[in-house]
């Protein structure tokens, strides 16, 4: 199993509220940034996925806030493949501040569709991507 370097996000001023705390909706955006970065680092950026005829929309999100963040903190986001079942993918995210404190734990679940919007079985329709994902599942 290969190690994928975590993604880093610098909290932007516009992401904070009147109390200088990051607005909760931004954590979902950071998940997307980290997921796109992760896929690119494992050799499957969105251009390659689309060229392979695969799209992977989000079907659910779960976010647990453990602490607040503020401008201009740098948040490290570790992305892990939790499960890949051919038609569904579950990704985990752990966000930490510079001191290493977990500020957010999250999960996203995705399905796989072709570019016409029809469900596909990744193992059959894009086996190279399926193998890349499955090889990253931690036991």
**pLDDT tens profile 18-76:** 999 999 999 999 999 999 999 999 999 999 999 999 999 999 999 999 999 999 999 99
Q: Is the peptide bond before 90 cis (omega within 30 degrees of 0)?
A: no
The secondary structure of residue 81, as a DSSP letter, is E
In the chain, the domains with their CATH numbers are 7-134 (3.10.129.10)
**What pTM, to 2 d.p., does this model score?**
0.94
Nearest residue to 68 via CA among 7, 6, 11: 11
CA–CA distance, 122 with 86 (Å, rounded to integer): 5
d(CA 20, CA 97): 16
Q: Is 30 helix (H, G, I), strand (E, B) or coil?
A: helix
Contacts of 27 (CB under 8 A, 6+ apart): 63, 65, 95, 104, 106
- Which of 64, 94, 97 lies closest to 78 in space, CA to CA? 94
Q: What is the pLDDT of residues 72-118, one digit of tens each?
A: 999 999 999 999 997 899 999 999 999 999 999 999 999 999 999 99
Q: Which DSSP symbol is given to 132?
A: H
Query: Which of 79, 94, 98 has its CA nearest to residue 137?
Result: 79
How far apart are alpha carbons 72 and 11 in whole angstroms? Answer: 5
């Amino acid at each position: 199993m290969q190690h994928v370097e975590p993604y880093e996000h610098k909290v932007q001023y516009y992401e904070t509220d009147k109390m200088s705390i990051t607005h909760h909706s931004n954590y979902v955006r950071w998940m997307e940034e980290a997921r796109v970065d992760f896929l690119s680092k494992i050799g499957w950026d969105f251009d390659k996925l689309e060229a392979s005829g695969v799209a992977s929309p989000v079907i659910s999100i779960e976010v647990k806030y453990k602490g607040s963040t503020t401008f201009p903190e740098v948040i490290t986001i570790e992305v892990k493949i939790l499960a890949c079942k051919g038609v569904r993918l579950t990704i985990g995210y752990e966000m930490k501040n510079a001191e290493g404190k977990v500020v957010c734990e999250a999960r996203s679940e995705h399905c796989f569709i072709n570019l016409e919007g029809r469900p596909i079985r990744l193992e059959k329709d894009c086996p190279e991507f399926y193998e890349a994902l499955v090889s990253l599942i931690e036991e």
